[in-house]
Structure 1
């Protein structure tokens, strides 16, 4: 009538430390330079586009455009080239 199987209880470890830290090892985190973010915004406004329209042309979310214009995004060379082509601007480093 009673089951004589042992019950095993395991206690899980608590995670210590912040959860949002990413190990970059050999990679260096490089944010969008201020002059680049300003050129993106000026170029977009010159073409009379809003962030949503630019995002659609790039195939990205509006939040990506917003982060680049604010200088809060991680710099990506491939995306920078797309900005240059669409907005007809040049980013010097």
Structure 2
């Protein structure tokens, strides 16, 4: 696992998920997701890039929130979109 400068700016503790039941936009729009990701800047729950709508990536780009973590049970990895690294 690597580190990047974006990890240092993350809030502690990490934000609570805004929609723990699923992807915020998919729930609103009635679309489906494959896997979920949690934005570590604000708690947005979005769907992964294997999902049709790719809401986690869109959120990261729109809001300039670079680091997410898996929101899947049993997974604890983090990804920085800017540095394209598992951190």
Q: What's the TM-score once normalised by structure 2's chain length?
A: 0.28
Answer with 1 or 2: which has the greater Rg: 1
Comparing both structures, which one devotes a greater share of its residues to helix? 1
Q: What's the TM-score once normalised by structure 1's chain length?
A: 0.27
